[in-house]
Structure 1
């Protein structure tokens, strides 16, 4: 089986994403080694600005325009394409490779990559998620926030990870941080959520034809400094029967709502008073795959 593993940051070398290079490199090398051990022929897309990589089968990319052209061609040249990219880019790329994408269908990539539509999808599935309002075009009035209880989390609708995500203690901070987050978001849209107090974690799940095949419950180390959240790493797997039962309820509800789910999905969660709140859904491989492949090499 011939597989292309393509990570956007490693392939295009965009200045505003360069801090993500170490984890991007770790993910693609981990996936390449794991799939190669399983008997697959694995290729990577790598920017010509990256001096050296520990892999022999490399497709060199000279610029972003060429990258999109190569991904479009990959649909006919590979059995599967694994894509790792920020939300807006992932939506565009998954549409290009269509059914060769090693993950959920493009429709679900669109839904879960956008934090607003993901929130609505989670509510539809009756999965607990923080109360949320969407702000677009103009900054929120104080009255617009009356349905939310402080403190708040303010974040762009279409950015990955903790980039431009703020912790606001009061409504005046919400307005200021919404202004900043709007500048970060490609479409100028911002989500304001109630902050859920608890333990930060994630769920890494692989869906197959009849539901989930495997999942790992992971702990995340998240710091708060100057009203900004920062991901500092994590540990896995977490073994806790109470959390395990709650997590399996979430995974089954998600599959019942969207039975076309397939491949790897990453869910950011908070454990709060013996319950699980899903914060975000990532329809692609996440950094947890590095630890999973080391601990469970046969997955």
Structure 2
């Protein structure tokens, strides 16, 4: 089947408060629209099906068909329209276990082209991610008991959070401990990310990116990426990618990994089992062949990971 269904959590809601959550919806819209624009240029794909709130903007292309959610017609209403074997890309945040819950709700209804539930459970939780990686001797940022963190400042993060959501720099240790948060040492080194295509324990490293980060009132925000900005570190990133894929064989599809450099060692901050916003700059940086490699992966039964990746130019993307 050369058709794809894309379900993105925020933009498929039947009722949205666009004013209150404008930044979230703008970022989600940019990502899904870019996937649609890039994938629609692949001749092997005949149709892209998108479930989207009726009040959000749409792209007018013959290959793209929208299904408008309203207060009377939610995501569940449209599931019965599609055959159960339609390849489906699911994009949902880790916040409040949203990605886990949505996966559980959809896996019997659709042919989800996604990492399995076990990986979602690990990588949706910053605490489980850190513990699991450490147990496998994969360099990471440990979550520690505050009594064991001797250096100030300290980073606090929600255990279940997406991206840079609610990440704070704590410059004093006399604060109230929140059970829903984890605490880590602050590493001021280079921030980066990479994307990889995973299938049955194997992977293809796609992009090597530098992150654009802002700090405002002791809140850390990733506001963008320079896609291809860390290409000189491809060899090291490839080693990390291989370690991840070999140890987590049910990772599937395009995966985003955030990392930080500390004392000449690149450490994994988190692993996102979904498309991330760095995809927006992927075509500009690495070209059509990389986009076709990814889009064909989701529609073909034979999963091809053999393709030469060459940087064309760096692309600065703001979320």
- TM-score, normalising length from structure 1? 0.84
**Whose helix proportion is higher, 1 or 2?**
1
Asked if the contact 1:132–1:191 (Cα under 8 Å) also holds between the matched residues in 2, the reply is yes
- Equivalent residue, structure 1, for 2:52: 46
Q: Any stretches of 5+ residues in structure 1 without a counterpart?
A: 134-143, 180-187
- Equivalent residue, structure 2, for 1:35: 39
Alignment of 1:91-106 (within 5 A): 91-98=100-107, 100-106=111-117
SS at match of 2:237: helix
Counterparts of 1:280 and 1:239 in 2: how far apart (Å)? 17
Which of 26, 42, 51 pairs up with 1:22?
A: 26
Which of 249, 255, 261 pairs up with 1:271?
A: 261
Asked if the contact 2:192–2:230 (Cα under 8 Å) also holds between the matched residues in 1, the reply is no
Alignment of 1:74-89 (within 5 A): 76-77=83-84, 79-87=86-94, 88-89=97-98
Q: Any stretches of 5+ residues in structure 2 without a counterpart?
A: 291-319
CA 64–94 in structure 1, closer or farther in 2 if over 3 Å, else same = farther
CA 278–52 in structure 1, closer or farther in 2 if over 3 Å, else same = same
Asked if the contact 2:210–2:230 (Cα under 8 Å) also holds between the matched residues in 1, the reply is no
The reply to whether residue 117 of structure 1 matches residue 128 of structure 2 is yes
SS at match of 2:118: helix
User: Aligned-pair distance for 1:54?
Assistant: 4.0
- Equivalent residue, structure 2, for 1:183: none
CA deviation vs aligned residue, 1:140-192 (integer Å, no higher than 9, x gap): xxxx51211322110111121222111111212xx25x55xxxxxxxx61111
- Equivalent residue, structure 2, for 1:59: 67
Asked if the contact 1:125–1:254 (Cα under 8 Å) also holds between the matched residues in 2, the reply is no
- Equivalent residue, structure 2, for 1:141: none
Counterparts of 2:258 and 2:194 in 1: how far apart (Å)? 7
The reply to whether residue 294 of structure 1 matches residue 284 of structure 2 is yes
Residues matched between the structures, number: 276
SS at match of 2:12: helix
The reply to whether residue 145 of structure 1 matches residue 146 of structure 2 is yes
- Equivalent residue, structure 2, for 1:130: 141
SS at match of 1:223: strand
Asked if the contact 1:75–1:81 (Cα under 8 Å) also holds between the matched residues in 2, the reply is no
Counterparts of 1:257 and 1:64 in 2: how far apart (Å)? 44
Counterparts of 1:170 and 1:64 in 2: how far apart (Å)? 49
Asked if the contact 1:47–1:63 (Cα under 8 Å) also holds between the matched residues in 2, the reply is no
Asked if the contact 2:256–2:273 (Cα under 8 Å) also holds between the matched residues in 1, the reply is yes
Which of 220, 225, 229 pairs up with 1:229?
A: 220
- Equivalent residue, structure 2, for 1:2: 3
Which of 199, 219, 231 pairs up with 1:208?
A: 199
Asked if the contact 1:9–1:18 (Cα under 8 Å) also holds between the matched residues in 2, the reply is no
SS at match of 2:39: helix
- When structure 1 is superposed on structure 2, of 228-237 and 43-52 the one drifting more is 43-52
Asked if the contact 1:266–1:285 (Cα under 8 Å) also holds between the matched residues in 2, the reply is yes
CA 145–14 in structure 1, closer or farther in 2 if over 3 Å, else same = same
Which of 168, 171, 176 pairs up with 1:169?
A: 171
Q: What is the alpha-carbon root mean square deviation over aligned residues?
A: 2.3
